[in-house]
């Protein structure tokens, strides 16, 4: 009798990285790739210094600057004192420890948001364990890698040991079947999943996204989906690697080359979940009926189809949910049952690790080409990396944005976290392609509607919440 036990993609990666499993304790997990940035690493390096420790694997550690980096002219001094200090500390720490840095002065042509440059450079590969001091590390799961965010003390642990203590999560199959309608994108799929199942559905689980819709998505679309796994409560979200994955990675700077590439692909082809592998839970979404999505509240689960109406707290039976919705609507200054279509907006932000890749910019530019954004609406377009920026400029996308009246910026997180003056004024409404709509996330008193790049571009043109399908030929 065969003792073959079918495994999920997650279990295959996890099992291959267990260094030790003390009885009853957390697993000691080996980490293949550690991505660091300026915000969560300074204290970790200080900790190493205090303990007289060195970085164990500088060759498996890569750094970039994204959260606090200005997206205006880089030749100007950095005005934000904290950001300037963090950026200087990262430069010093990388130089002292032999870590490759993609920063302002050094490696500037490869600088960008950490979750954009990892895949772009081919550092992100199937089967790897990848960590970063940022919760959207789940993005890398689009390649069939186990990527998750860690805290500052864990950054220090990985720098010192290249290992991490982790409790094994359960697995959840997130199956998306059907056929996407015109104007409906990967961002709408993930917003719909979170709206349907809530921000806590993935707590204690790792998502694996499956189904024919997922298989048909490009790598960039898959990254958008996995990026927001954390907004569904899961620290990681995986998609099985396939030919789409291998085509994306082939030839990238840090991807294996020659015979090594062939060996890698052979190994990667064994990663997808075995046909009968059991998941601990399954949830489903029929994508055929999806409309473009938009959020109305102050967590990413408070989302609805764009033609919908804001829900009424009085119709909620659960008292804590009712109170949360009442508070969110008060903050957003929205009324129960009102439609969002036609609601005026002040700002549009196209960027962030969710939607700042070249295909996102192409989508937005496709709509803005030859048109002007509504007078009085500020539109900021921030590419996810310097390479994305250069590619966009080669294609002339920057001219489309500038001619439409939008601001064209350097790569960074920008208005996703309201840094360096890229922020909303109190009371302003912003349609944002980022991933979080918490109170004050984009500036004190600022109000965020999360949406896809297509929807954001449509709203930029009209100055109100707009169903992009009315503008598509
Ligand atoms: S773009 Fe936003 S969510 Fe993504 S890494 Fe930067 S701050 Fe975090």
pLDDT digits (tens, 9 = 90+) for 266-289: 999 999 999 999 999 999 999 999
CATH 3.40.50.300 fits 293-470, yes or no: no
Compute the average pLDDT of residues 414-435.
Answer: 95
413 Cα: distance to centroid of ligand 1 (angstroms): 5
Q: How many residues does the chain have?
A: 473
Ligand 1 centroid to residue 350 C-alpha, Å: 13
75-89, 308-322, 370-384, 456-470: range with lowest mean pLDDT: 75-89
Q: If we measure between CA atoms, which residue out of 425, 431, 455 comes closest to residue 184?
A: 455
Choose the residue to mutate in 41, 64, 140, 353 for probing ligand 1, maximizing ligand atoms within 8 Å of C-beta. Answer: 353
CATH superfamily of 9-166: Aconitase, domain 3 (3.30.499.10)
CATH number for the segment(s) 170-236+266-289 = 3.40.1060.10
What local confidence, expressed as pLDDT, does residue 420 receive?
81
Helix (H) or strand (E) holding 205: strand 205-210
Q: Could you tell me the strand order of the sheet in which 61-64 lies?
A: 100-102, 61-64, 33-36, 129-132, 146-149
- 155 CA to centre of own chain: 19
Residue 105 has pLDDT above 90, yes or no: no
- The full set of domain ranges for the chain reads 9-166, 170-236+266-289, 293-470
Show the ligand 1 pocket: residues with CB < 6 angstroms: 66-67, 113, 115, 134, 136, 352-353, 413, 416-417, 434-435
What is the CA(51)–ligand 1 centre distance, in A?
30
State both tokens at 9.
């993609």
Question: Sorting pLDDT into bands at 50, 70 and 90, what band is 220?
Answer: very high
pLDDT band (50, 70, 90) for residue 301: very high
Given this model, what pLDDT does residue 1 score? 60
Same fold, 170-236+266-289 and 293-470: no
| Percentage of the residues of the chain whose pLDDT score is greater than 90 | 95
Nearest alpha carbon to residue 246 among 238, 256, 235: 256
* Tens of pLDDT, residues 90-100: 999 999 999 99
Residue of 80 and 267 predicted with greater confidence: 267
Backbone angles phi, psi at 273, to 5 degrees: -55, 140
Mean pLDDT of 365-382: 98
Distance CA 46, CA 207 (A): 34
Q: 173: helix, coil or strand? A: strand
Cα dihedral 233, 234, 240, 244 sign: positive
Residue 78 has pLDDT above 90, yes or no: no
pTM listed for this prediction: 0.97
């Amino acid at each position: 009798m065969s003792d073959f036990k079918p495994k999920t993609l997650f279990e295959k990666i996890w099992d291959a990285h267990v260094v030790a499993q003390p009885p009853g304790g957390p697993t000691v997990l080996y980490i293949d790739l550690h991505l660091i940035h300026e915000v969560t690493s300074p204290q970790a390096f200080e900790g190493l210094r205090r303990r007289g420790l060195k970085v164990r694997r500088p060759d498996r550690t890569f750094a970039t600057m994204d959260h606090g980096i200005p997206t205006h002219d880089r030749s100007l001094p950095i005005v934000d004192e904290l950001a300037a200090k963090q950026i200087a500390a990262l430069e010093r720490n990388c130089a002292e420890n032999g870590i490759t840095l993609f920063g302002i002065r050094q490696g500037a042509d490869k600088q960008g948001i950490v979750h954009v440059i990892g895949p772009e450079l081919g550092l992100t590969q199937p089967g790897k364990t990848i960590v970063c001091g940022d919760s959207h590390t789940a993005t890398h799961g689009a390649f069939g890698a186990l990527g998750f965010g860690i805290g500052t003390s864990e950054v220090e642990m990985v720098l010192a040991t290249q290992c991490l203590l982790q409790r094994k999560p359960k697995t959840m199959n997130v199956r998306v079947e059907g056929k996407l309608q015109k104007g409906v994108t990967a961002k709408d799929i993930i917003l719909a999943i979170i709206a349907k199942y809530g921000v806590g559905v993935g707590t204690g689980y790792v998502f694996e996204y499956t189904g024919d819709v997922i298989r048909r998505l490009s790598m960039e679309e898959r990254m958008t989906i996995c990026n927001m796994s954390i907004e569904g409560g899961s620290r990681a979200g995986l998609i099985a690697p396939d030919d789409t994955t291998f085509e994306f990675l082939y030839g990238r700077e840090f991807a294996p080359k020659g015979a090594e590439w062939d060996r890698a692909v052979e190994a990667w082809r064994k990663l997808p979940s075995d046909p009968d592998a059991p998941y601990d839970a399954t949830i489903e979404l029929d994508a055929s009926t999806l409309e473009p999505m938009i959020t109305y509240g102050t967590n990413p689960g408070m989302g609805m189809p764009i033609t919908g109406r804001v829900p009424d707290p009085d119709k909620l039976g659960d008292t804590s949910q009712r109170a949360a919705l009442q508070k969110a609507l008060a903050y957003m200054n929205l009324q129960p049952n009102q439609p969002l279509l036609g609601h005026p907006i002040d700002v549009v932000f196209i960027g962030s690790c969710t939607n700042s890749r070249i295909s996102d910019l192409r989508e937005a530019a496709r709509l803005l080409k030859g048109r002007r954004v509504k007078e009085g609406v500020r539109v900021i377009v921030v590419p996810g990396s310097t390479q994305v920026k250069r590619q966009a400029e080669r294609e002339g996308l920057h001219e489309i944005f500038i001619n439409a009246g939008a601001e064209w910026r350097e790569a960074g997180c920008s208005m996703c976290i309201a840094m360096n003056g890229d922020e909303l004024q109190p009371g302003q409404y912003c349609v944002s392609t980022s991933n979080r709509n918490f109170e004050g996330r984009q500036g004190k008193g600022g109000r965020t509607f999360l949406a896809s790049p297509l929807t954001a571009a449509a709203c930029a043109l009209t100055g109100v919440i707009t169903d992009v399908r009315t503008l598509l030929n």
